[in-house]
Amino acid sequence: MKIIKSTSKQLEKIYNRSAFRKTRVEEKVKKIIDDVRILGDEALLKYTKKFDGVKLMPRQIKVSEIEISGAYQNISPNFVSSLKVIIENVNRFYRKSIKKSWRIKVGDGVVLGENYAALERVGVYIPAGTAPLASTVYMTVLPAKIAGVKKIALITPPDKNGFINPHILVVANLLKVDEIYRVGGAQGIAALAYGTKTIAKVDKIVGPGNIYVSEAKRQVFGQVDIDMIAGPTELVIIANRFSNPRFIIADLSAQKEHAKGLAILITNSKSLALEVKSKLEGQDGFIILTKNLEQAVEISNKIAPEHLEILVQNPNRLLKGIRNAGAVFLGPYSPVAVGDYVAGPSHVLPTGGSARFFSGLSVSDFQKSNHIISYSRKALEKVKEPLENIAGIEGLDKHLDSVKVRF
């Protein structure tokens, strides 16, 4: 890891690391999306053979009940028992965050409010390239279920033999996912957005993926909603001389298990920086030396990391200054791994600095609201004059007439 000062120009590159579009990727993805939109299942089969090396028949796109049932024979019973504990943790967290409809009376004859409703149909993307992310199934599906989404379609790429990882199938089955399809990549995103003969289109697509999946989500946004455009995973650790270096080294090492993952330690302790550097020699990443912990918080906010660990004696004191982070882990016994798997909040989090304006996946991502406005005749009459003044300035005479005709 490389030690840099808080004044280093390298920091600007870190701040501005947001996922940029590569022209060649953009063009390839557009071609794939257009093919799926026009050719439907035929394009899905073509690209599954090209990218996954699997030749499928149209009827094989959807995973059968027999294959789902058979998946239970290929997993450990301990997996299911552990999963049930985790599911309860996730449910407990998200039940607290569901938004409810409300009404308020504003003077005589005026009622305002919002009606919240769940999305009808959601598509979930589960990566299965370098590792089958079974944990991402419950981290995406459970918030949607709690929100009340009626139909959930899950897509995930097949392995070289055309099968879906049994752990992914079992989690999806236990959570009562309605449909599972063996298709991935940009072609899978296109199928969810536009629909094919086999896969019905959805209202929103969620879940992480590689650069092609992320670019496809960007291109179909507007046709459907998306959660965010995710890039490589990130970890920032704020620590000082009282922090345990073994914990820091272990957490930074874990971060580098992810391809192109960003690992950063921010500290005001030179001795800690040197010790961590000596143990992680040859590993990519940065150690940023600051004057004090307040400056560390300021730099972290500019980085806006996906994961932020605060490993100081009183982490809550620094937490007050944190504005930009996908998830914040407080204290020495809250490693990112506990958030990735068991704590409860979703591990689908903003990356590439987008924590400045995006939040982690939540129940609200699967809800939408209608504004409710109700005026009596008397209430409308009271606002008639200011309404006419503003509408008159804008020159919208028919708007004025639509009020006047009521009196």
Catalytic-role residue among 167, 307, 309, 347: 307
Cα distance between residue 350 and residue 328, in whole Å: 12
Beta strands in 188-315 (DSSP E): 204-206, 225-226, 234-239, 262-267, 286-289, 307-311
Catalytic-role residue among 306, 347, 381, 394: 306
Q: Identify whether the C-beta of residue 115 lies closer than 8 Å to the C-beta of residue 206.
A: no
Let me know if 306 is a catalytic residue.
yes
Cα distance between residue 181 and residue 258, in whole Å: 25
Residues with catalytic roles: 306-307
